[in-house]
A and B are shown apart, each in its own frame.
Chain A
Amino acid sequence: MTVLQGIFLVVGVVTLGAAVMVVTARNLIHAALWLILTLFGVAVMYGLLSAPFFTVIQVVIYIGAIAILMIFAVMLTRRVKQEAGSSVNQGWWMAGLMSLVLFTALVWMFSTWDGFQTTLPDLPEGLDTIKILGTALVSPNGYVIPFEIASVLLLAALIGAVAVAWEKKS
């Protein structure tokens, strides 16, 4: 077993364990904290896949913004009654069964594909992926239209979020 495999297994087990805690923890604040651990694990996965840019934006966007926003929302919508009673609905066993079936089906489907055991290719010599990504996102021959649409979407979401959560003074 190589070092890379060792790191992958440790991080993978921690990440999946934390993900299970996210969906089972009764206290939502605890679930949000487990979510942060899961996101850190996924950030390490991006590092293993030699995409350091994604490691950084995972920490900045997901952990720095989204997870903190979740914690804010949990605190703003708390009530005593919520703590009592089950945190899952009556059909939870069906949901678990469906997830298991989907996982088995996915793994079976992957294992019948001949690219499944592709080993890690070496990155081409002197390839600066961050520079190429930055150029591709703003070049007309690259992905400038999806990039601009994404920025319009973010602006629309910003205005929409303010409009929806606005408290009208009557």
Chain B
Amino acid sequence: MISLSYFLVFAAALFCIGLYGVLARKNAIAILMGIELMLNAVVVNLIAFWRFRTPELIAGQAFAVIVFAVAAAEVAVGLALFIAIYRRRNTIAADEIDLLKW
């Protein structure tokens, strides 16, 4: 019988892989891909808790819908920022974008 532990461990692994991508990658778009992995892990957790703990309430699914909307907004603004930076500085390597660094 499948239990909640399966989904929690799966989501934790997905989140940690995404975290590695965010921390280690140089390219800003690769960092954004890591953030997408982390957000997906969060949504898996939300739906799993809804299904296993409170299937008669809809709060978990409603929360997950909001997370989807926020993820779409975040990607749109993030990629627009990277394209603007690329146009001005001709790079999107995260360690070369250091205008605000002393």
Measuring CB to CB, which residues of chain A are less than 8 angstroms from any residue of chain B?
2, 4-5, 8, 12, 15-16, 19-20, 22-23, 28, 31-32, 35, 38-39, 42, 45-46, 48-51, 53-54, 57, 61-62, 65-66, 69-70, 72-74, 76-77, 79, 82, 86-89, 91-92, 94-96, 98-100, 102-103, 106-107, 110-111, 115-121, 123-124, 127, 129, 132-133, 136-137, 142-143, 146-147, 150-151, 153-154, 156-158, 160-162, 164-165, 167
Contacts and interface: CB of A to CB of B under 8 A. Distances in A.
B3 A54 contact: no
Going nearest first, the 10 A-B pairs with the smallest beta carbon separation are: A95-B23, A23-B21, A157-B73, A161-B80, A92-B24, A95-B24, A165-B80, A150-B69, A99-B16, A103-B16
A76 B18 CA distance: 23
A50 B62 contact: no
Contact of A66 (B5, B17, B36, B94): B36
A110 B12 contact: yes
Nearest to A105: B12
A60 to B, nearest CB: 10
Contacts of A76: 83, 86
B86 A8 contact: no
Given A35-B36, A124-B56, A137-B65, A66 B23 contact: no
A15 B14 contact: yes
A140 B53 CA distance: 25
A155 to B, nearest CB: 9
Interface string B50-69: 11110110110110111011
B3 A12 contact: no
A82 to B, nearest CB: 7
Interface of B is mostly: helix
Interface string B1-37: 1111111111011111111110111110110111011
Contacts of A91: 23-24
